A and B are shown apart, each in its own frame.
Chain A
């Protein structure tokens, strides 16, 4: 059993859990993820390992409540357990001294970006971070990211915080202002990754993106997480999750994410009532 040790609201519907997972804590590297089942009849969902404490045998997960499983998770409190956690899965991020590394995070994507930015900083890179959120309330991990960045820019779609605009606007003005970038890492909603990738391609900056397709087993067994990269079929769970952003077939990936949209709405609606209670209880704290 994977007992939850701490639970903390980071933003609207975004919760950080510190949870027991000793083998994962001692074996994981930045960029890797786990697959969890909240209950013994639940769905298997992938979540990035946001951080780990090998001595304590705990990992931290930062989760946005978007549907049935993540809402169910939001109702858990310290002392409760997550039924299954398996990992670490996927290949670790390729971290080396590139020079100047641009880390671009959108929405919940900042959670998986944090360990990578931290790793890049530890590898003596100059880390420039751009965080985007729809609105101030959805911005997460600003302080953590600031601690591992040499420079940090925040954009919000509605201008409620930082500069008004999209992350791509901020990147363009960075470059126009003379910033030199050797490598970019982008994690966020697929559309944001697509447009960031188109921009960095234009700017000639090599870019890694961490993909988040639908998964089941995470061991290469089902092929559900397949994406097209450089014209070849890849399984994100074993070949990724990071790929050369300029080679990813974004449109196909984005379409495949919508496969179960109606089914998921059904599952979430059946669950909606309880989910609200969970979120409200969380917000009241």
Chain B
């Protein structure tokens, strides 16, 4: 097929659960491509010589090559190509903000002047990864003889899993310490089932276990074991402890009954299965749920509220639709499901009744001014324009900060102003020799793929450290 013919092919429409039905269950929304659909979508790729999509991918997945493999029906080769640079394609295919990365740079989208027309790279990635999982086709690599070196990984989020996977394949012994009783970090407790089935996450962990990674749950480094003990027992340490410290607004009323951080709301629903009526973990099933924020976390909370039976789920965001950081697909899905969006509204107070239960909030109308440091137009209050929004559950989804547990336990770590660990850009080594860090604990709340990218860099540097002939002295 020539380029002109390829350019004429319309994007394959992803089959999805009907919105009216899916708000009553927690099953995944998009069903995934069939092989025929994947082939048709793969045929839309122009195989550009300069590969702008690869540039756009934070870890440089060889996108046209894996798409070519789909076209020629060699799925095993295709998934192999992705996995050279991306350990968790089943996750990334589902949750990466492709429209800001590979798909934004895609020439097909550019030709149509619409990023929505770009090759659906994420869906193709998901297709291959699901094919591999469903067919038990994961290749167990040839692992070199044991190096005799031991690596401790703190946290089982995407950063930690990447480091563990890379280093076990190089022959090092790897132990992952996880504070919770389940693996995956935010992939497990935060991102809801209907967007990322936990089965997908646990399959990746099971694969690492098969390769020999030792997972120690219910183990908090800095509490169950001191950082010094870990440094003594292991040849290198990777900190991937994430950004699990929820921000609150600092407005009156945040202690009222029925006010949740998004982390608590989603953890109750996901990790503790509160969406199941028979779960021991309770959750307040509001009739009218107000979610404060505009990112993926806010979309996830509002859509979870609907699945918990809310009649009304509102997203209240202080900027406009354009500035919303959420993935486009999440926004689209939320709108389809009936989530209401209140833009340019800034919550200034949460209201309650005499018994201390939340009854609603007062919002201040905003307008957009000049761009701020983030490049987005700054929201400014319009004097005198406030109104009240009724709600019986309020979810605060305005972001998270780096988890302070490890920094508190290892005071010699150099930190930045935002509570993130300072690392060398290339090696991810911290100010403490032999201790590396990556993911949200370094970047602040960022993305899965950036966490994995940093994990990969760190694994590289740790391997170099462990195999260097001149043994680096440990202090």
User: Which chain B residues lie closer than 8 Å to A84 at the CB level?
Assistant: 181, 217-218
Chain A residues whose CB sits within 8 angstroms of the CB of B281 once the complex forms: 43-44, 216
- Of A145-153, A165-173, A222-230, the segment with at least 4 beta carbons within 8 Å of chain B is A222-230
Contacting residues, chain B, for A219 (C-beta < 8 A): 179-180, 220, 244, 403, 405
B211 proximal to A (CB < 8 A): no
| Alpha-carbon distance between A227 and B223 when the two chains are bound, in angstroms | 22
* Contacting residues, chain B, for A255 (C-beta < 8 A): 257, 355-356
Closest to A257 in B: B257
Contact of A256 with B by CB under 8 A: yes
Within 8 A of A (CB), among B234-249: 244-246, 248
Contacting pair B280 A69 (CB below 8 A): yes
Interface pick from B135-143, B201-209, B260-268: B260-268
Question: How far does the Cβ of A234 sit from chain B's closest Cβ, in whole Å?
Answer: 11
When distances are taken between beta carbons in the complex, the residues of chain A under 8 Å from B260 are 223-224
A259-B357 Cα distance, complex, nearest whole Å: 9
B268 to A216, Cβ gap below 8 A? yes
Is B77 in contact with chain A by the CB < 8 A criterion?
no
How big is the A interface, by class?
35 or more
B267 partner, pick from A41, A68, A88, A216, beta carbons under 8 A: A216
Which of the 9-residue segments A106-114, A116-124, A201-209, A260-268 touches chain B? A260-268
Interface string of B163-189 (1 = CB under 8 A from A): 000000000000000011100000001
Nearest-CB distance from B247 to chain A (Å)?
Answer: 9
Asked whether, in the complex, the Cβ of B219 is within 8 Å of the Cβ of A23, the reply is yes
Asked if A79 is at the interface (CB within 8 A of a chain B CB), the reply is no
- State whether A43 and B257 are in contact (beta carbons under 8 Å apart), knowing that A86-B181, A219-B405, A238-B405 are contacts in the complex: no
Q: Is B226 engaged at the interface, CB distance under 8 Å to the other chain?
A: yes
Query: Which chain A residues lie closer than 8 Å to B264 at the CB level?
Result: 216, 222-224
Bits for B348-359, please: 1 = Cβ < 8 Å to A, else 0.
Answer: 000000011000
CA distance A228 to B248 in the complex (A): 13
The answer to whether B282 and A217 have CB atoms under 8 Å apart is: no
Cβ A220 vs Cβ B257 within 8 A: no
Whether B72 sits at the interface, judged by CB under 8 Å, is no
Nearest Cβ in chain B — how far from A210, in angstroms?
17
Nearest A residue to B226 via CB reads A27
B255 adjacent to chain A (CB < 8 Å): yes
Chain B CB within 8 A of A176 CB = no
Check if B3 is an interface residue, CB within 8 A of chain A. Answer: no
Residues of B in contact with A (beta carbons under 8 Å apart): 179-181, 189, 217-220, 223-226, 244-246, 248, 254-255, 257-258, 260-261, 263-264, 267-268, 272-273, 278-284, 355-356, 403-405
> How far is A175 from B282 in the complex, measured between Cα atoms in Å?
44
Q: Which residues of B contact A88 (CB under 8 A)?
A: 223-224
Flag if A217 contacts B179 (CB, 8 Å): yes
Measured in the bound complex, the distance between the Cα atoms of B180 and A263 in whole Å is 24
A221 touches B245 (CB 8 A): yes
A104 on the B face (CB < 8 A): no
| Chain B hits for A68, CB < 8 A | 280
Question: Is chain B's binding surface mostly helix, strand, loop or mixed?
Answer: loop
Contacts of A89 in B (CB 8 A): 220, 223
Interface flags for A87-129 (1: CB within 8 Å of B; 0: not) read: 1110000000000000000000000000000000000000000
Option from B180, B248, B282 in Cβ contact (under 8 Å) with A260: B282
- Knowing A23-B219, A41-B273 are in contact, say whether A264-B403 is a contact too (CB < 8 A): no
Q: Given A219-B244, A221-B263, A267-B280, list of 14 further CB < 8 A pairs?
A: A23-B219, A27-B223, A69-B280, A84-B181, A86-B220, A87-B220, A88-B224, A216-B272, A216-B281, A220-B403, A221-B267, A221-B403, A223-B260, A256-B356
Q: How far is the CA of A249 from the CA of B226 in the complex (A)?
A: 33
Give CA–CA (A256, B180) in the complex, Å: 24
Q: How far is the CA of A221 from the CA of B180 in the complex (A)?
A: 11
Please measure, in the bound complex, the distance between the C-alpha atom of A41 and the C-alpha atom of B261, giving whole angstroms: 23
Contact A42 B280 (CB under 8 A): yes
**Chain A residues within 8 Å of B220, by CB:** 86-87, 89, 219
A24, CB-defined interface residue at 8 Å? yes
A222 close to B223 (CB less than 8 A): no
CB-defined contacts of A164 to chain B, threshold 8 Å: none
Q: Is the CB of B257 within 8 A of A256?
A: yes
A220→B242 CA distance, assembly (Å) = 12
Query: Closest residue to B243 on the A side, CB-wise?
Result: A221
Interface residues of A in 29-64 (CB under 8 A from B): 37, 41-44
CB pair B268 A220 closer than 8 Å: no
A43 in contact with B263 given A220-B403, A233-B254, A259-B257 (CB within 8 Å): no
Complexed CA–CA distance, A54 and B281 (Å): 32
A27 to B229, CA, bound (A): 11
Q: Is A4 an interface residue (CB 8 A)?
A: no
**CB pair A43 B219 closer than 8 Å:** no
Residue of B nearest to A255 (CB): B356
Nearest residue in A to B242 (C-beta to C-beta)?
A: A221
What is the CB-to-nearest-CB distance from B253 to chain A, in angstroms, rounded to a whole number? 11
A27 with B225: CB separation less than 8 A: yes
B280: chain A residues within 8 A (beta carbon): 41-43, 68-69, 267
A137 at the interface (CB under 8 A from B): no
A42 to B272, CA, bound (A): 8
Does A85 belong to the interface (CB within 8 Å)? yes
- Cα-based distance from A219 to B408 in the complex (angstroms): 12
CB distance B405 to A220 under 8 Å?
Answer: yes
Shortest Cβ distance from A24 into chain B, in angstroms? 7
Query: Contact at B225–A223, with CB atoms within 8 Å?
Result: no
Judging by beta carbons under 8 Å apart, are B224 and A43 in contact? no
Nearest CB to that of B355 among chain A residues? A255
Q: Does A78 contact B (CB under 8 A)?
A: no
Q: What 9 pairs between A and B have smallest CB-CB spacing? A: A263-B282, A221-B244, A222-B264, A86-B218, A223-B261, A43-B280, A255-B356, A260-B282, A224-B264
| A83 / chain B contacts, CB cutoff of 8 Å | 181
How far is B402's CA from A13's CA once the two chains are assembled, in angstroms?
A: 41
The docked-state distance in angstroms from the alpha carbon of A255 to that of B217 is 33
For the complex, what is the distance from the CA of A83 to the CA of B219, rounded to whole Å? Answer: 14
Q: Is the CB of A85 within 8 A of B218?
A: yes
Give B261 Cβ to nearest chain A Cβ, in Å. Answer: 4
CA A267 to CA B281, docked complex, whole Å: 9
Q: Determine the chain A residues whose CB is within 8 A of the CB of B224 once the complex forms.
A: 23-24, 27, 86-88
A sample of 25 inter-chain contacts (CB < 8 A) reads A24-B224, A27-B225, A27-B226, A41-B273, A43-B272, A44-B181, A84-B218, A86-B181, A86-B219, A87-B223, A88-B223, A216-B264, A216-B281, A217-B180, A221-B244, A222-B263, A222-B267, A223-B263, A224-B260, A226-B255, A256-B255, A258-B257, A260-B282, A264-B282, A267-B280
Q: Closest chain A residue to B248 by CB distance?
A: A233
Q: Is the CB of B181 within 8 A of A37?
A: yes
- In whole angstroms, what is the CA distance A37 to B273 when docked? 14
| A267: chain B residues within 8 A (beta carbon) | 280, 282
